[in-house]
Amino acid sequence: MGIIKTDKLVFEYIRRDEEGNVEGITRAVDEVDLDVKQGDFVAILGHNGSGKSTLAKHINAILYPTEGAVWVDGMDTRDEKDLWNIRQEAGMVFQNPDNQIIGQVVEEDVGFGPENMGVPTEEIWERVEESLKAVGMYAYRKFSPNKLSGGQKQRVSIAGVIAMHPKCIILDEPTAMLDPNGRKEVVRAVRALNDVEGITVVLITHYMEEIIHADKVFVMDKGKVAMEGTPREIFSQVKRLKELRLDVPQVTLLAYELQRKGIELPDGILTVEELTQHLLQKYHMK
Amino acid sequence: MSIILDHVDYVYGEDTTLAVHALNDVNLVIPDGQFIGLIGHTGSGKSTLVQHLNGLIKPTGGSIYFNGEDIHAEGYDKKKLRSKVGLVFQYPEHQLFEIDVFKDVCFGPKNLGLTQKEAELRAYAALKQVGLEDEYFYQSPFDLSGGQKRRVAIAGVLAMKPDVLVLDEPTAGLDPKGRDEILDQVAKLKEETGITVILVSHSMEDVAKYVDRIIVMNQGSVLYDDVPKEVFKHYRELEDVGLAAPQVTYIMQALHKSGMPVATDATTIEQAAQEILQIFF
Ligand SMILES: Nc1ncnc2c1ncn2[C@@H]1O[C@H](COP(=O)(O)OP(=O)(O)OP(=O)(O)O)[C@@H](O)[C@H]1O
Ligand SMILES: Nc1ncnc2c1ncn2[C@@H]1O[C@H](COP(=O)(O)OP(=O)(O)OP(=O)(O)O)[C@@H](O)[C@H]1O
Ligand SMILES: [Mg+2]
Ligand SMILES: [Mg+2]
């Protein structure tokens, strides 16, 4: 069994009126089977409302299955005695940084997690420094978080999770509010955590180019997993992705447009280097 | 008719030890009918700047004129200003508060003094414009997914039919299709009604595709103010201030460097494809 496993996971939001009568039911996750290997970098894509956040909240036991089951490192998330172990092993970064920051000073905020875990003081400061540097916010360590702009806050909350040294980190659109440079820094930091520390990464995003290095991509549609494969396999299917309200990186789209206009290129080109190489070859043959 | 920012300065927590100088001598003229992109690193002052445009924030130095009138002069009608300059906040949660989606979107037009019936018609049209399905209309806005909340917040401002539409990162959190749909709708609205649109965005690709003018902020000051092609020619300088050019610009640079006779200033997929095709056919 992988570090994260779900078996026919179903989750329904139930809306009730004041008297408690059921007003409506939304099946947000619908029979999802996931199996994520320890050390993998997994990406989850999907249209708005497709169930990504709901699925993510099951991984660190914020939500519990309506049907089916979820295991984290072999622990059933419904088992109350494992709740804190699960939350420590699976760290989560949410979409909106405003709800995640509690400290009065940036470095304090980042230190909260390790402090609660009982990490020795000296090591806490090491972790705070390394995490803040990883997201490019070290210069702001003495700032008050509520005086930071949106993008700056988001980087602090990522540092807060990194400082806990979790086995697995789930990031729910962590870069949605960042500038191009901040996005690159965060993706680089997350990739380094994955490569160097072997931390399992689950990245939810609407930025297609952020996940070209993922080991595996899941595409959600109306609560179900609609596609599953490597980035190249997924991004080769431009039409299918567009039907699912998604897109491909600009370089992939450009290659696809050139293909349609009669230039022979392989499907699923993912990087600028690849495209340059193929076009150059064609150009010299001409 | 225009908005003028004349030597605008803004300091958060003025007179405290934690003072942050968020805007530094900003001078801008925003004539009617432009589609403007406002870009800049996180913390560069974009949100602070746009909150000045409808009078939410008062400059600590300098003045702001809307159609020739100083908006902070005594007796100036701020309520009217806010109905003319519609601002969609960066965090939609800050804007949503009613018990259901439909009421939330009706709030603005009702506040303008429209009848219930008129307000409802506008709300309905605005929700259609942002592509939210009917099934969500009577749900609490807080029970929606991130992207759905964003749509409701945008609809709330569209329903007021402002003359100047200011969108603070409206596509953050939207799926790619939703992103295109919303920006296409805004562009269409602009074409049809001639409104001014100011789009704050971290997506260089979106900005390149839609706007006629880009204002680049860096640490509270205006760094560049020009048409997209000219601004993105400075891609190295943009990288130094936390930004980038659209990915296609880098592709064209790489092709050019490897010896292919292509121009390097394409900023959209269409331009890039055209430029590459002309050397093959
Ligand atoms: N608290 C809630 N109460 C009721 N329904 C909810 C709640 N949160 C989400 N939903 C519904 O569940 C479905 C899945 O939502 P979810 O937030 O998981 O989507 P998502 O894929 O994360 O979307 P996004 O890309 O917009 O963040 C949607 O139809 C949404 O309206
Ligand atoms: N309420 C506040 N109190 C004090 N300082 C603030 C406040 N809001 C923003 N700032 C500071 O003012 C500066 C400009 O922030 P602003 O939010 O305008 O930037 P931005 O360009 O919108 O950034 P982002 O891309 O992250 O949204 C930043 O240094 C920020 O830390
Ligand atoms: Mg979500
Ligand atoms: Mg902002």
**Rounded CA separation B171/A177 (Å):** 10
> If you average pLDDT over residues A201-225, what whole number do you get?
97
Q: In this complex, do A178 and B177 lie within 8 Å of one another by their Cβ atoms?
A: no
Contacts of A106 (CB under 8 A, 6+ apart): A132, A137, A140, A141, A142, A143, A144, A145, A148, A156
> If you average pLDDT over residues B91-120, what whole number do you get?
89
Instruction: Determine the residue of chain A that is closest to B270 in CA distance.
Output: A254
Q: In this complex, do B205 and A250 lie within 8 Å of one another by their Cβ atoms?
A: yes
Confidence bin at A149 (pLDDT 50/70/90) = low
Instruction: Determine the residue of chain A that is closest to B243 in CA distance.
Output: A180
pLDDT higher than 90, residue B98: no
CA distances from A51 to A28, A29, A224 (A): 5, 6, 8
**Rounded CA separation B40/A114 (Å):** 34
Closest alpha carbon to A47 in A223, A227, A245, A229: A245
Q: Tell me: the pLDDT tens digits for B166-180?
A: 999 999 889 999 999
DSSP lists the bridge partners of residue A76 as A71
Confidence bin at A28 (pLDDT 50/70/90) = very high
Structure token pair of residue A253: 């789209």
Structure token pair of residue B251: 């592709």
What is the total residue count of chain A?
286
The interface predicted TM-score of the complex, written ipTM, equals 0.89
In this predicted structure, what is the pLDDT of residue A70?
97
> If you average pLDDT over residues A89-105, what whole number do you get?
81
pLDDT higher than 90, residue A251: yes
Probe target for ligand 2 pocket from B18, B24, B47, with the most ligand atoms within 8 Å of CB: B47
**Rounded CA separation A189/A212 (Å):** 15
Confidence bin at B65 (pLDDT 50/70/90) = very high
In this predicted structure, what is the pLDDT of residue B271?
95
Q: In this complex, do B243 and A179 lie within 8 Å of one another by their Cβ atoms?
A: yes
Residues of chain A positioned with their CB less than 8 A from the CB of B43: 148-149, 151-152
Structure token pair of residue B141: 């806005």
Comparing B198 with B148, the larger pLDDT belongs to: B198
> If you average pLDDT over residues A116-120, what whole number do you get?
90
Q: Is B229 exposed, middle or buried (0-12, 13-18, 19+ CB in 10 A)?
A: middle
Structure token pair of residue B177: 């299709």
Q: In this complex, do B174 and A48 lie within 8 Å of one another by their Cβ atoms?
A: yes
Confidence bin at A23 (pLDDT 50/70/90) = confident
E-state strands within A118-195: 168-172
pLDDT higher than 90, residue B118: yes
Q: In this complex, do A181 and B202 lie within 8 Å of one another by their Cβ atoms?
A: no
Q: Tell me: the pLDDT tens digits for B185-241?
A: 899 999 999 999 999 999 999 999 999 999 999 999 999 999 999 999 999 999 999
In this predicted structure, what is the pLDDT of residue B263?
94
pLDDT higher than 80, residue A95: no
Confidence bin at A157 (pLDDT 50/70/90) = confident
CA distances from A249 to A79, A96, A230, B40 (A): 41, 24, 14, 22
Contacts of A234 (CB under 8 A, 6+ apart): A45, A217, A219, A227, A241
Number of the ligand 1 atom closest to the C-alpha atom of A206: 25
Rg (CA), chain B: 20
In this predicted structure, what is the pLDDT of residue A97?
66
Q: Which of A152, A209, A254 sits opposite B272 (nearest CB)?
A: A254
Residue whose CA is at the smallest distance from ligand 2 atom 16: B45
Number of the ligand 1 atom closest to the C-alpha atom of A50: 21
pLDDT higher than 70, residue B147: yes
Report the range of poorest mean pLDDT among A111-125, A186-200, A226-240, B72-86.
A186-200
**Rounded CA separation A216/A40 (Å):** 8
Report the range of poorest mean pLDDT among A22-31, A189-198, B16-25, B70-79.
A189-198
pTM (2 d.p.): 0.92
Rounded to the nearest angstrom, the minimum Cα separation between A130 and chain B is 21
Number of the ligand 2 atom closest to the C-alpha atom of A154: 26
Comparing A147 with A156, the larger pLDDT belongs to: A156
* Shortest-distance ligand to the CA of residue A25: 1
- Whether residue B54 contacts residue B80, with contact meaning beta carbons closer than 8 Å, is answered with no
Helices (H), B73-215: 78-84, 101-111, 116-129, 146-158, 176-193, 204-210
**Rounded CA separation B85/B165 (Å):** 6
Q: In this complex, do B145 and A273 lie within 8 Å of one another by their Cβ atoms?
A: no
In this predicted structure, what is the pLDDT of residue B260?
94
In this predicted structure, what is the pLDDT of residue A184?
87
In this predicted structure, what is the pLDDT of residue B231?
96
Contacts of B107 (CB under 8 A, 6+ apart): B98, B156
Instruction: Determine the residue of chain A that is closest to B176 in CA distance.
Output: A246
Confidence bin at A133 (pLDDT 50/70/90) = confident
Residue whose CA is at the smallest distance from ligand 2 atom 5: A147
> If you average pLDDT over residues B46-59, what whole number do you get?
96
Residues of chain A positioned with their CB less than 8 A from the CB of B12: 147
In this predicted structure, what is the pLDDT of residue A57?
95
Confidence bin at B126 (pLDDT 50/70/90) = very high
* Shortest-distance ligand to the CA of residue B43: 2
Report the range of poorest mean pLDDT among A203-207, B40-44, B89-93, B98-102.
B89-93
* Shortest-distance ligand to the CA of residue A48: 1
Residue whose CA is at the smallest distance from ligand 1 atom 27: B146
User: Where exactly are the structural domains of chain A?
Assistant: 4-230
- Whether residue A106 contacts residue A142, with contact meaning beta carbons closer than 8 Å, is answered with yes
pLDDT higher than 70, residue A150: no
Structure token pair of residue B220: 């509270």
- Chain mean pLDDT for chain A: 92
Q: In this complex, do A258 and B147 lie within 8 Å of one another by their Cβ atoms?
A: no
Residues of chain A positioned with their CB less than 8 A from the CB of B281: 262
- Whether residue A182 contacts residue A170, with contact meaning beta carbons closer than 8 Å, is answered with no
Comparing A15 with B201, the larger pLDDT belongs to: B201
* CA A68–ligand 1 middle distance (angstroms): 19
> If you average pLDDT over residues A101-130, what whole number do you get?
92
Number of the ligand 1 atom closest to the C-alpha atom of B175: 25
Q: Which of A48, A148, A149 sits opposite B145 (nearest CB)?
A: A48
* Domain A4-230 grouped into CATH 1.20.1250.10: no
